Structure 1
């Protein structure tokens, strides 16, 4: 009877070690997947930042050109008035 209990406990111990190994493998796999997803999301976020940066630069460029054009129109209008 004691031998059967010992065999049963040994078998349970081996199964628990196997489960522990499986859980460790699953943990590593999930960690790698999350790192991949995080890297992709950071890449997407960076694309949005670059897109917004180009829009800001375009807006600043257009605003600057409009200001210069308004200034030139004002000067031309004042020259024609005199």
Structure 2
């Protein structure tokens, strides 16, 4: 009976070690996948920032031009009224 219990415990120990190895392998695989996803998201985020930066620059440029035109129109309008 003691031998059967010892054999059973030995088999359970092997199974637990095997499961532990499987869990560690899964942990490593998931970590690698998340690193890959994170790298892709960082790349997409960087592209988004660059795209937005160029849009912001364009909007600032256009706003500046509109302000200058409004100023010139105001000056011309005031000159024509005098």
Q: Which TM class, normalised by the smaller chain length?
A: 0.7 to 0.9
Query: What is the RMSD of the two structures over their aligned residues, measured on CA atoms?
Result: 1.8
Q: Distance in 1 between matches of 2:12 and 2:71?
A: 87
Inter-partner Cα distance in structure 2 for 1:78 and 1:4: 107
Once the 2 structures are TM-superposed, how far is the Cα of residue 77 of structure 1 from its aligned partner? 4.5
Give the TM-score taking structure 2 as reference length: 0.80
Shift of 1:81: 5.4
Alignment gaps of 5+ in structure 2: none
Query: What is the TM-score normalised by the length of structure 1?
Result: 0.80
Q: For 1:42-57, what aligned pairs fall within 5 Å after superposition?
A: 42-57=42-57
Aligned residues: 82
1:39-78 aligned at under 5 Å gives the runs: 39-78=39-78
